[in-house]
């Protein structure tokens, strides 16, 4: 069995590749640079040169595969509309090749798009226009009507582990630069979290078992108060921890203020019950203390 993985050389994608290989799958990985191609080759991955905007390369790879895990995305927050449009075109192009087959198309998205301030569950469907990326999610799920075994895997704002270069390291670097770890208001807004190895396991389960139109939540911890994250950063860097108003946070954190103030409690109860997914890796705060986040 051969699975095509976009974003295969990335932080999450490389963990997915390892999990697939331990389960006996052959992996095709999309690489847009020589460095990414070399990294994949060292992992024993068959390289497909191309990028998300090159739909011809995507179609070619899907034609050679028994399924797709779409973990790639253009993480440019200054061009969110463009990134979402590229994502949607890529999903539709790959889905067209898979139409009428039982081959899976597993699409990555985020819990932060679902229901801010309320518990996000797998039963809440994406709404077109709610966020640029929501349109990709709606388009993906609609492909179930064309005989594509498509499913969404929603990731929390923070997917952690050694080598993380996402939101948590960004916030740590800001604390180093400005001399304090911060949170907004009382810091009671909640961030769900998952270790990348546990998330990778769920992507494999989704490819193997998810029915068309399913939504899965790769959520290990439902909601960690952001104040606890800031306090862990303060302790790890030996820096003071302080509260900011939202306006102060915008000046302090820039575009990250939106995410730092987001309240995104998220459940994975249905996912765990349906797929037998049981996370085993350390939680976020423990991982921050032990996985080199402050070295």
Q: Which residues pair with 158 in a beta bridge?
A: 193
In contact, 125 and 215? CB cutoff 8 Å: yes
In contact, 106 and 68? CB cutoff 8 Å: yes
On the CB side of 231, how many CA atoms lie within 13 Å of its CA?
10
The set of residues, in sequence order, having a beta carbon less than 8 Å from that of 223 and lying 6+ positions away, is 190, 191, 192, 263, 264, 265, 266
The set of residues, in sequence order, having a beta carbon less than 8 Å from that of 147 and lying 6+ positions away, is 99, 100, 101
DSSP element (H, E) containing 93: helix 80-98
Which residue in this structure is represented by tokens 């939504």? 215
pTM of the predicted model, to two decimals?
A: 0.96
Reduced to 3 states (helix: H, G, I; strand: E, B; else coil), residue 2 is strand
**Residue ranges of the chain with per-residue pLDDT less than 50:** none
Q: What does the alpha-carbon distance between residue 245 and residue 249 come to, in Å, rounded to a whole number?
A: 6
Q: Can you give the pLDDT at residue 164?
A: 95
* pLDDT per position as a tens digit, 175-214: 999 999 999 999 999 999 999 999 999 999 999 999 999 9
Which residue in this structure is represented by tokens 């916030």? 171
Q: What does the block give as tokens for 289?
A: 């203390």
């Amino acid at each position: 069995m051969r699975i095509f993985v976009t974003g295969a050389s990335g932080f999450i994608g490389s963990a997915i590749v390892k999990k697939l290989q331990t389960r006996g799958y052959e992996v095709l990985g999309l690489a847009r640079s020589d460095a990414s191609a070399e990294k994949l080759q060292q992992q024993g991955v068959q390289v497909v040169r191309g990028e998300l905007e090159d739909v011809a390369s995507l179609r070619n790879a899907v034609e050679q595969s028994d399924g797709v895990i779409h973990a790639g995305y253009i993480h440019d927050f200054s061009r969110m509309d463009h990134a979402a449009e590229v994502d949607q075109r890529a999903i539709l192009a790959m889905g067209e090749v898979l139409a009428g087959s039982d081959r899976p198309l597993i699409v990555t998205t985020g819990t932060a798009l679902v229901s801010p301030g309320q518990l996000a569950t797998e039963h809440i469907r994406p709404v077109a226009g709610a966020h640029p990326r929501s349109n990709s999610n709606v388009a993906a799920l609609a492909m179930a009507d064309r005989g594509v075994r498509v499913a969404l895997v929603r990731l929390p704002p923070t997917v952690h582990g050694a080598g993380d270069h996402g939101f948590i390291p960004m916030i740590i670097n800001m604390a180093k630069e400005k001399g304090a770890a911060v949170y907004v208001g009382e810091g009671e807004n909640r961030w769900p979290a998952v270790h990348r190895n546990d998330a990778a396991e769920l992507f494999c389960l989704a490819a193997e078992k998810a029915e068309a139109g399913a939504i899965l939540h790769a959520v290990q911890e439902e909601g960690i108060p952001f104040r606890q994250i800031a306090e862990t950063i303060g302790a790890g860097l030996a820096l003071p921890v302080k509260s900011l108003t939202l306006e102060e946070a915008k000046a302090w954190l820039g575009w990250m203020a939106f995410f730092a103030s987001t309240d995104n409690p998220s459940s994975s109860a249905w996912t765990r019950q349906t797929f037998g997914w049981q996370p085993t890796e350390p939680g976020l705060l423990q991982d921050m203390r032990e996985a080199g986040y402050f070295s």
